[in-house]
Structure 1
Amino acid sequence: MESILKDVAAVKADHENVIGHLTWHSLSEMLITPNELKDKLIASGLGEGWMPNEIRLPDAFRRATSDKFKREVAPGVYENYMYREVASTHDFVQRNLVCETKDTKGRRLNYHSDAGSVVLDRKTGKVDTGYVTAIAQQLVSSAAQRFDIYRQHYGATTLRTLFSNVLKSMSPTPVRPSGGIYFIPKQFESQLQSLAGFVTSLEKGEAEKIPLIDTKDMKSMITRKLSEHLQSTLEACEAGVISQLRKGDLKVILDEAKRVVEDYKHYESIVTGDLRDMESKCQLIRQKVAAALKNMAD
């Protein structure tokens, strides 16, 4: 990857000889209110149509009660605190604070299923807490405070999903196996600029984009990476069917596969060499998706 970036930086780009951009972004943990997020989306040019779903109280509540806590209570003996959901109705959600005592060898010495409790009233949005020890009081009180924050703020996970959704609309091709760096065809340059502007406007966001020049080496690289992407997509479809995933999980894979094949048309002016293998992969993916969707309907 470093050699690719070095080659790219060595050539002066102008708008006419650019085939697309390499791009990547990162985001540290942060919070943002819905109004702040909407304003930044509009200011960047992406628009409020990319706004995530409204924050649901039960989701904020579960997020607030997802932390774990560990402390040593004696030499080689530890208490592990975590939340377990014990009830969820139309009226309330209850999560209990569980305390599990173990030694360094992993042997369970004690288990307390209700060291504390946190209960969300779905109608009023209020949270009640209960506890039996001082440490449990601290933990459930902290969870209640986090809920008050999370009910009014999106977190980094939601923002990363937003980034991913915008990126997927620009026919991205991953250029390294671990992901994180993508090639975006030239026709999406304006939208990519808006995404980069949006990410960098966030308190903990960073984004970069580097133009790729219309050279034989660059086109060959993109052709190779696109072929690898199609192959991995085909393998994901096959693995999903063989593993007999739940319909919801399989549908996510199939929808992604359909998007990848549809995106291929944006690369026809970029890819080089004999395209029969790549077109064959596209056709195989279409067949796998159609067969899987038919089986899901039966």
Structure 2
Amino acid sequence: MGEGWTPKEIRLPDAFRRATSAKFRRQVADGIYENYLFREVASDKFSVQRNLVCETVDTRGKRLDYEGTAGTVVLDKKLVQVNVSHTTAMAEQLVQNAVIRFDVYKNNYGSNTLRTVMMNILKSMLPTPVRVAGGVYFIPQKFEDQLNAYTTFVRSLEKGEAEIIPLINTKDMKGMVTRKLSEHLQDTLEACEAGVVNQLKKGELKAILEDAKRVVEDYKHYESIVTGDLRDMESKCQLIRFKVAAALKNMAE
């Protein structure tokens, strides 16, 4: 599929933060619980420090006690090692677990990264969702070689499944693709509108808008495939362009 799809090199601070993202809760008495989580307290070009925080609460969530430094984990970027400290046996176990996870994460990508790579490759083949929930897509025939490579890659993964089912070039099949493409355009339009109305974070809205621009760009590759009156889909494409342009202008302001 090409090295261009390879994810970026794992950054040590990212692996460190991922290793210290877990939360833990335990019951210490009847109706009394300890909540543990890591919070970042310092970061520069030499190191990143995160403290293990312990909050004691009752069943109603009322805070009974708070310890901001039950443990510390400090990443030394130059030596590529983590130094720890702790005040209790429980804190020792949690910070040592973080060190173990860091040793794994600094050399291994997470499942989210893998899913992102797989979805980006899929998007490059102009997919049209056949199901609302995803998982089944129509891919134009010109991507046959790339699709074969993609399914081979997916099947090589643990629990990875991917199948190619050729569609017969009939009126019914073209009608199905046309309907699904129209629904995809409508869903994209609604996602743009909802993103603006709900005032999503800039990064989240930008991702929606980038996807919308891709969908409109992909549409022209389907014009020779779809059937019937195309004015409705062309109108949706125009509305998506308008929504994207308006949203990007607001973001810039």
Task: Please give the TM-score of this superposition, normalised by the length of structure 1.
Answer: 0.80
Equivalent position of 2:151 in the other structure:
196
Equivalent position of 2:80 in the other structure:
125
| Paired residue type of 1:274 | D
Equivalent position of 2:183 in the other structure:
228
Equivalent position of 1:85 in the other structure:
40
- Separation in structure 2 between the aligned mates of residue 117 and residue 167 of structure 1, nearest angstrom: 42
Structure 2 gap ranges (5+): none
Task: Please give the TM-score of this superposition, normalised by the length of structure 2.
Answer: 0.93
- Separation in structure 2 between the aligned mates of residue 241 and residue 77 of structure 1, nearest angstrom: 43
- Separation in structure 2 between the aligned mates of residue 98 and residue 222 of structure 1, nearest angstrom: 53
Q: Residue 141 of structure 2 is aligned with which of 158, 170, 186?
A: 186
Equivalent position of 1:115 in the other structure:
70
Distance 1:295 1:77, change over 3 A: closer
Q: Residue 107 of structure 2 is aligned with which of 118, 142, 152?
A: 152
Q: Residue 215 of structure 1 is aligned with which of 170, 173, 198?
A: 170
2:229 is equivalent to residue 274 of structure 1: yes
Cα displacement string for residues 247-271 of structure 1 (whole angstroms, at most 9, x for unaligned residues): 4333222211110001112222222
- 1:214 Cα shift? 1.9
| Paired residue type of 1:96 | N
- 1:227 Cα shift? 0.9
- 1:246 Cα shift? 4.2
Equivalent position of 2:211 in the other structure:
256
2:165 is equivalent to residue 165 of structure 1: no
Cα displacement string for residues 61-98 of structure 1 (whole angstroms, at most 9, x for unaligned residues): 01101112222212232222111111122221111111
Equivalent position of 1:288 in the other structure:
243
Q: Secondary structure of 2:10's partner? A: coil
Structure 1 gap ranges (5+): 1-45
Select the structure that is richer in strand.
1
Q: Residue 73 of structure 1 is aligned with which of 9, 14, 28?
A: 28
Equivalent position of 1:21 in the other structure:
none
- 1:212 Cα shift? 1.9
Cα displacement string for residues 72-125 of structure 1 (whole angstroms, at most 9, x for unaligned residues): 212232222111111122221111111122233333322222111111112222
Equivalent position of 1:34 in the other structure:
none
Equivalent position of 1:9 in the other structure:
none
- 1:288 Cα shift? 1.9
- Separation in structure 2 between the aligned mates of residue 57 and residue 241 of structure 1, nearest angstrom: 35
What CA RMSD, in Å, does the superposition of the two structures yield over aligned residues?
Answer: 1.7
- Separation in structure 2 between the aligned mates of residue 297 and residue 105 of structure 1, nearest angstrom: 44
- Separation in structure 2 between the aligned mates of residue 129 and residue 143 of structure 1, nearest angstrom: 10
Work out which structure has the larger RCO, using CA pairs closer than 8 Å and 6 or more positions apart in sequence: 1
- Separation in structure 2 between the aligned mates of residue 107 and residue 247 of structure 1, nearest angstrom: 34
| Paired residue type of 2:213 | K
- 1:205 Cα shift? 2.2
- Separation in structure 2 between the aligned mates of residue 159 and residue 70 of structure 1, nearest angstrom: 29
| Paired residue type of 2:216 | V
| Paired residue type of 1:70 | R
Distance 1:102 1:247, change over 3 A: closer
Equivalent position of 1:57 in the other structure:
12
Report percent identity of matched pairs: 71
Q: Secondary structure of 1:72's partner? A: strand
